Amino acid sequence: MRSGNRRYRMDSTVRQARLDDADDVVSFAEQVWNERPDTVDYIPDVFADWVESDGPDQHTVVAEVDGTAAGLCQVVLLTDHEAWFQGMRVDPDHRGEGLGLSMVEHCFDWARQRGATVGRNMVFSWNDAGLGQSVAAGFEPDTAFRFAHPEPDTDADPDVPVRNDPDAAWSYWTASDARTHLSGLALDPDRAWALSELTRDRLHRLADEEAVLAVTADGTTGMACRTGTRSEPSGDGALAEYAVGAWDDRGAAASLFDAIRADAAALEVEETRVLIPETPRHVAEAAAVRAELADWPDFVLSADLT
């Protein structure tokens, strides 16, 4: 069967995932990164939790072929109009049969019925197959970001004042090149690996519950916002997460990252993770002020669900 240029396997079924799909899902998920032996798929660790936590705002599906789960996809409603798609996997033995397209279209419909007008997903920049599958399924390239990891430091001291000021941060963010490059997106405060629109209301909430850092010297020249702390997946300590970091120049970057180092040290965490725009300026200036950088950027793709 074809829809436009899309080919589907006629004997496959997309349905709600069940706990008894775990063996099938784990079996093919463990093969996904065979060409990257240093990469371990997170799906085996989260599949049961995904199934058990499905509900009005979350939907996990599998593509079933001959009674066997051969594909996986999850959609989550982040806000009243933003849906996030993740965990898109297809058994290597069934690639090219349209299972990924069938699951994504099913999830598109589920999200639309609940009011979502945009859907997004994230793909590692080195994942050629994932990028191709996402574009084939109807997502379009949107933006790119990288994680910076400034080390917590009790002795860090910004050169200029940095205060918890959501209004200053919002004014800076709305006019920044970082916001333009990132399409207004930042880490979602409730989903560690999802991005959603950063709003003024969210900044005020984070200022009350966490911290919003505004670099203020002759106006505001940079901002960041902490979304919380969590345990490292490796179990090696705690991590402080910052939804986004943006700044004017190297001097502002130095002050902002020093403020993040001091903030993280006060929380007594071992590591940080700060989302920054994947632009030559932001990456180079973050490196110049000794903020360790992830080895590669991540790509965000989006789909119009209207």
Using one digit for the tens of pLDDT, what is the confidence trace for 264-273?
999 999 999 9
- Compute the average pLDDT of residues 36-51: 85
Provide the token pair at 93: 């033995």
- Compute the average pLDDT of residues 173-202: 97
Residues 6+ apart with CB under 8 A from 109: none
For residues 38 and 43, give the distance between their C-alpha atoms in angstroms, rounded to a whole number. 16
pLDDT for 10 equals: 64
Provide the token pair at 165: 């000021």
For residues 70 and 14, give the distance between their C-alpha atoms in angstroms, rounded to a whole number. 10
Q: What are 73-110's pLDDT values in tens digits?
A: 999 999 999 999 999 999 989 988 999 999 999 999 99
For residues 74 and 38, give the distance between their C-alpha atoms in angstroms, rounded to a whole number. 25
- Compute the average pLDDT of residues 204-216: 97
Cα 201 versus chain centre, distance:
20
Q: What is the mean pLDDT of the chain?
A: 93
Residue 147 one-letter amino acid: F
- Contact predicate 126/299, CB 8 Å: no
Q: Binning pLDDT at 50, 70 and 90, where does residue 236 land? A: confident
Residue 184's Cβ-count burial label (10 Å; 0-12, 13-18, 19+) is: middle
List the helix and strand counts (H, then E) for the chain.
9, 17
Q: What are 100-144's pLDDT values in tens digits?
A: 999 999 999 999 999 999 999 999 999 898 899 899 999 999 999
CA distances from 301 to 99, 143, 273 (A): 19, 7, 21
Q: Structure pTM? A: 0.92
For residues 236 and 258, give the distance between their C-alpha atoms in angstroms, rounded to a whole number. 23
Tell me the chain's radius of gyration from C-alpha atoms. 20
Tell me phi and psi for residue 29, to 5 degrees.
-65, -35
For residues 181 and 299, give the distance between their C-alpha atoms in angstroms, rounded to a whole number. 12
CA distances from 217 to 85, 168, 173, 251 (A): 40, 11, 16, 11
Residue 14 one-letter amino acid: V
Q: Is the dihedral of CA 142, 221, 267, 297 positive or negative?
A: positive
Residues 6+ apart with CB under 8 A from 127: none
Pairing of the two strands 271-277 and 238-247: parallel
For residues 14 and 90, give the distance between their C-alpha atoms in angstroms, rounded to a whole number. 12
pLDDT for 35 equals: 65
Q: Binning pLDDT at 50, 70 and 90, where does residue 55 land? A: very high
Provide the token pair at 62: 């599998």
